[in-house]
Structure 1
Amino acid sequence: MKLLTFGPLELQGTAFRREKPLLLLAYLSLRGTQERRTLARQFWPDAADPMNSLSVALGQLRHVSADLLRVTDTQVATPLECDVSDLLRACRSQDLDQARRIYRGAFAAGIGAGDLSDDLAEWLLATRESGADAYRRLLLGQARAAVDAGTGGAGVWAALAYAVPGAAPPDPETFGELHNLLAAERHPDAALLERQAAELGVALHAPSVSLTGRQAELARIMEVPPGQTLWLLGPAGIGKSALLAASVGTLLRGQGGRPHATLLALPEVPHPGPVTESAWAQVLSARSEPLLIDDWEACDPDSRRVLLALAATHAGPPLVIGSRERPPLPLPELTLRPLSALRAGELPLTGGIPALIHAHRQNLSLADAYAHLLALHPPRARQLLACLGIQETPDLKATQAALELGGEDMAAALERLNRACLLDGTRPTAPAALRAWLDTQPSLETEVLTLLAPHLLPADALPHYLRAHMLTGSSDLPGFQAVLADRTRALLAEDRQVEAHALLRPHAQSPETRLLLGRALDALGQHKEALKVLSELPDTPLVQVFRGRAVWRLGDRAGATTLANAGLNGDMEARAQAYNLLAALALAAQDYAQAHDCAQRSAALFMLLDDDLMRLKLVCCQAIAMQKLGRDVGPLLREMQESSLNQLPATVLLDIGWILEAQDQWTDALAYAQQAATNAESRQDLSTAAAAWNNVGVLHHKLGRADQAANAYSQAIHAARQGGEVRLLALSLGNLAELQESLPLIEEALSLLEGAGHDDLAVYFREQREAFRGRSGGG
């Protein structure tokens, strides 16, 4: 029997596939004898009883074969060998066939580090990468040998070496060697390697020359015949200057300040130079070498007139003029556009604009390069670009309203930015460069954020308000609190309390958002903090209802009832929430008829409010009350199970489980309770998590699984203590006491309940205490 570790773990010759025990076996095979407590802590760091989890795993392995383990009271070992040493031997001896048979995939493929200790996760990753690295070196050696032999196929071996499952990214030197091998054979994986290298910041190429991708345009310039003019058109940064500098001819850069300043830079012009246009025409017509003019807009007016006259007469040398604007005469044009042949990851950084490509490849400031491109544009154009740049999907109507631009002005600004290759339609061509520039312009960004946000739908506006808050530190931005309330109300309606709290905690300032913060805290089980927030708000009916929820959770049932009744004097939402609270109070008091009536009223109000989730929760409450009253709950149960909601909330799952439990369908009930506990924990809903784990414990207890029941009660106690849930804490503690027949635990549960307003539960546990004393002979 042998343990195969490369690919999914497999115990050769058996059908045993449990990952954690097999990983334990691999660990023992490679690391030797280990202490039991160390293994338990490393493999089950989050388990309530790691030693028990270890015992279960060892038992599973012994069931496969009694020869797999050597176990004492304190230590565990295995005589079994795994295939790691076989792979290393094959790689050392260059036995390619054997290595390929062994390496079926990454070491322990499919096993993540999520539920392992940090030390064990580090060992798993190191072992995985070590084996993969040995196999990669073997394959890379095959590629080198193919090059030396001149037989071809080096690219295939290099591709295999590059893609070894489980391997870490190659070091820079190996990256370069693999790329050279792939590129030499034009292997398609060369592009994949280039993208990964770019993402990791590994340089594979020397900096490209500035004319990369402009060979066709350079050839066109070189082909201009004598007497003809070519107008080289393109925005700033597109590469006109570099293209002209690489061409054959006399290059003149536009100058101003005096008459004919640009043309006076010609080396053959005598001092002080011609004065009239006809004299200049004679000088220029006598030239044979091409004349190249860079930056037409900077040329002095006199030089412009002379050059346009020369172009119109079709006399003189080849003439090429670089300009950002269209020619004033009908002349042949060559328009430069952004480059498309870019390295991986360069498009969002540069938009194909050569000036930005150069900055990126030379590790220069993208923000500075972008600012240079924008310097020629007026403030309104820069403001429009910034406003479009902060939107994931630009909303033109909202943008126009935010900037108070008329239709013609908006169209003109968009056209200008598109001609400059800074926009493609309404989207920035180099969003990452724009972002880098905006990071240097916090005042401008704050301005466009606060101008735009009020014109967007709340869901679209919220990210802009949050960004503006980050820049200014202020939550008192016009419209922010209303948008915050809209979003967090929706999150709370979906039982997403953690997300709602994260948004509200740093930003809630208005009475509406402070109320929502109180609701989120209460839903998370932080009842004292919720009550503190709610107590600072005006005594509206809705506020009083949510205060009532908090004080009930803290043990004051009478106060909760008073506050709930005060809510009945409010609007529809307040009445719906008030009846909801009264239903919960009645259920706790075992007044099931009253609970059913209040839940039915609340459900009807929530239906009118178009709140399907809350209505469903109240249907659950009705079903529980009807079950207690001995009525048929089948229709309500089906409605709950067949709800159109995408994912049933934990509270609904918990209620379905409770009803199934009451109908003695314990196995089905356990599945719902466990799912409720998992869902509640994922949303950090401590109250529901505590209730769900308590139900899981009860069901395991009924099914005769004492260990699982004790573990579930412990998790319920932990969640209830974190959430300040006195009733649930006492209930779970008392249930654990019953399971373990522990009088001290029952006494502890009673001490929590006495004076906390949970008299019904206190009476029950007093009865249990007396029954226990009777069984044990105590007084």
Structure 2
Amino acid sequence: MTDIIAPGGGAAGAAPGSYVIQHIAHPRTVTHNTFMRLRTLGGLSVEGVTFRREKVLLLLAYLCIEGPQARRRLAELFWPDAANPMNSLAQHLVHLRSLPGALIEDGNRVASGVPCDAGVMRAAIREGRHADAVSEYRGAYLDALTIPLGPDLEEWVYETREALAREARGALITLAGHAAAHGHAAQASDLAARALLLDGAPPADELELPRLWHLLSLTAHPLAAQVEREARDLGLTLHAAPTPPTTLFVGRHAQLDVLSHLPPGQVAWISGHAGMGKTALLDALTRTGGWTALHGRGGAPYSTLDPLFRSPPSSPAAALHGLRDAHLRLGVDDWDSVDAASQAVIEAAARHRTGAAIVIAARLHPPFEVDVHLQLDVLGPDDLRDHPGLYDLTEGHPTLVAAALRGQPLDVRQGARVRALPAQVRDTYLMLALQDPPDLRATRKASGLSADTFALTLSHLTQEGLTAEGGHVYAAAAARELLEQVPVHAKLLHLKLARALGGMRAWPHYVAARDLWEDVDEDAAARAAGLRAAEDLRRGFPGRALEVLAAFGDRADLAVPHVWALVGVGRYAEALHRLDALDDRAAAAPAVQAARATVLVRLGRDAEALDLAQLISGSGPEAAQAASVLAHAARSREDWPGARHHSQIAADLWRLQGEEQQYVAELGLVAWARSYLDVTPDEAFQDVLPMAERFENVRGAIVLNYAKRLVEVGELGRSVTLMEQAGRDLERAGNTLAHAQTVINRGVLLHLQGHLPEAAALYREAIELLRGTGSVRTMGMALSNLSEIEGDLSAFEDVLGLLLRAEQTDLVMQIRRSARLVQRAQAPASPS
């Protein structure tokens, strides 16, 4: 984004001795009738009203342009030869009063009560809405008058006509300049031609002709030759025909508008780090026409300003004299490279505030007082709204935006700049790009730099426009693509970062650098993996946790999180095998015992699970998990008082540990149990649902259980809506297993209602979701229900055999109880 900064202290940039003109309001506020409008450009009429008295409408037009007037002044101007001018005025005012709200009378003064198109046009120009202003200009002012006018009134009409046409021409030239700045040469030439041929406008003057020629020459428009002849007849010097840009200029509309309207004698300064678009903005300004562009040159005195003179200036006074031309509009790029003599002359011109309008581009802030300071940063999303996806690709970095608009790969554009950096600076930059957000302390440690050197390196990268303050790399994806071209070096940088970061954030870097691990890295990587997996489990992403721990299947210190990840995806048999592989000492740990009890109860081996759970005491996480096991076993027996009791204990223990998400999850199970006891499902779940709003995964599971209870009490309509909501929550949370269970339950609802094709489609969707999860239990439910619909009894028995081999005995019994093979599709299985 870009800030426009004006110097403080009074009127910004006012020259010493200048005056500020203040608006003095009339004693009475004039309120216009917004329902009528006077048309004066290209005709004379009141919109929506049939009124043909030209002299009356001319009087109204005069009041619209000139504001409130004394009656005697109007009488003498409009009826200079009448025997009684005041009487003539009175008669016309009578007719004007027949237009409701058109006339405002205040004693001896009268004013217009309706707006007119000319006033609307002028207001639009003042507010910078040039396109709106041009749309109002439909022809010369009062061009259709047929009545005779006195000499003074006729002179006023012609002067006003020319003034309004000049203003409209100025708006057209401004629009043309903006089109040229943004690379739209054909549009710029068309607008310039309209400006040149505008109805009611006088011949273009010495300020307009060079700009019009410049804009028409962009496309070799036929009118360019005519303008060139007129300019040369006036002795004007025209520069070489401009070359259209190869890349569109985007954004910076407000900044370009400020610069293009810089008054004579004022100085504007554009500052920003490298690559922020200073030169591009200055070039765009030059393309608007009427500007002379100079690029900083070192060496001989006045070498930068030399193109302004026929022969090199011999003294500071001579050089300064060349900048006192009020018609000169000068752009100076790369101030740091401008020779010292030219810098001194430009600074002197800025102090005098007389002569040329000057715009300077530099990396640093202005060393002297200026009238306008534009500090450029990256472009914002609004600047690039006409180019969908461009902001996300480039983060608004002007250099990358230009490359993308040219169709150039960003890694190629950045690559040249990055490869030019010193090796140590380049590696620091690349390590910053590998992090989101970057950890400066770890990056300094990984780079092996001292604090002073690291600070200088960051400053250098910021000045080069490669990073923002704080080390954020612009469009880091492009830098990472560049790094992929040197994979071994990339792995080395990842390894350095992993060692410096430590903890959970080190894990992705250890993964990327796996081929370079040394012995010391094995344990550190395992610790990082354990922390990453624990965080994934806490957030309800067991599948992600399982992926993280897949490479550490033989480490006893990661057995517990590994088991919880397996439980989370429903791979209970594998979880039990993982625990069985531990030695006796490791197996006796309370955390391992709690995990084993959970696995056993999920496998339907409730007796063994209860024996283990009842041995766990205390108030830690293991005790909470043991209480949850007791609750699960009670639910399997449909012992709802016991399920509520033990889930409440588990909830209280989790709350004691500060585990809010686990606490809310257990309260959801308390609500589920209560819905079978003393309250309705609505009453049971009403308190816990708001608590689950912060935890998308937990909320999805609770809503799913709520929906299942509504099915059981016969409220199928509401249940369908809630199951769809649960599915969205679980899908967003990345809980594939629970999402698949929701899809199966939706299928069950349709299955029960006899909508077999729709149910089968949902079962197939669930099967696709479950591929790769390893959840034999849930896959078995989907397959068995689908087999019932398709009438494939052999497939049904194969599924049951699969579940038995996976030790899912309880589920097999449930399916056999609910599915009557003789009377198929009566009661499909749903996840518990």
Q: TM-score range by the shorter chain?
A: 0.3 to 0.5
Q: Structure 2-normalised TM-score?
A: 0.45
Query: TM-score by structure 1 length?
Result: 0.48
The structure number with the bigger radius of gyration is: 2
Higher RCO by CA contacts (8 Å cutoff, separation 6 or greater): 2
